[in-house]
Homo-oligomer: A and B are copies of this chain.
């Protein structure tokens, strides 16, 4: 089984590494970081570089594709090389997945049209503009399309996917070994739970508020 994790400049590191840390443990899985070019790919803010081992052209039939998001997603929304690759591999994937604004890339590729999907809470409206039906849940499954909410939600998505790829026992064993027993010191992880002033500040800074998707 091949699991391809897409990288592009300006990705959010945890979007990619959360699912990776879960999914690389699937027995028999080959997990590969893939990008337009091999070599270091820089996150936003640029202080982290993950190495892409293969080019898009070298990964033609992954069983699972994982698309992270991040500020750099906006620069890829009309990149036909990347969107065309998503469409091509999606034709044969068992699972096509995303974290955060990675779902906007899937939607821009036309893969989420009419489908229930999620994204970073700030990007749910933009997701609708690209033809998907946004759902404000942490992990959303519609057929083989598995989308996760913002950044840290990729860990929950990865565990859900591990349960499907192998079985629930395996997923629980991965949860145990990664000690995923979250105990956030605060309770502000969603717009429903965070203080209203912080939600408004985040909306004010968001490019999704300032620049509608189309």
Contact = CB atoms under 8 A, between A and B. Distances in A.
A182 B178 CA distance: 14
Contacts of A201: 173
Q: How many copies does the complex hold?
A: 2
Chain A interface size band reads 35 or more
Interface stretch (A88-96, A103-111, A127-135, A150-158): A150-158
A74 interface: no
A182 B173 contact: no
A49 interface: yes
Given A18-B14, A31-B47, A180 B175 contact: no
A149 interface: yes
Contacts of A53: 47, 49
Interface of A: 12-14, 17-18, 20-21, 24, 30-33, 40, 45, 47-51, 53, 100, 120-121, 138-139, 149-153, 155-156, 159-160, 163, 168-169, 171-173, 175-186, 188-191, 193-195, 198-199, 201-202
